[in-house]
Amino acid sequence: MRYDTIIDATAADGRTVRGVLHGVDSYRDSGILAVEAAVRLAGGSAKPGVLATAEAFDAAEFLNSLAPHGLTWETTAD
């Protein structure tokens, strides 16, 4: 079942940004995300330390790597 994960963020100055991840199956996709992160960590392409995924990897590059699995993303800003 297809799904969209929507994230809205507002900066201190009032600017807003929306990010949307379009996926195929949330259970399947969580595994794909975990494996992609593990492969990158094993390859040494992440900063060391305790980090969120967005801190460890370039967001656009990481999200674009998921396209072969049917995951797409977009952002919009006011």
pLDDT exceeds 90 at position 78: no
For the residues 4-29, what does the mean pLDDT come to? Answer: 96
Q: Which helix (H) or strand (E) holds 36?
A: helix 26-42
- The whole-model pTM stands at 0.82
What pLDDT does residue 4 have?
97
Burial class (CB in 10 A: 0-12, 13-18, 19+), 69: middle
pLDDT tens-place string over residues 27-70: 999 999 999 999 998 998 777 889 888 888 999 999 999 999 99
pLDDT exceeds 80 at position 10: yes
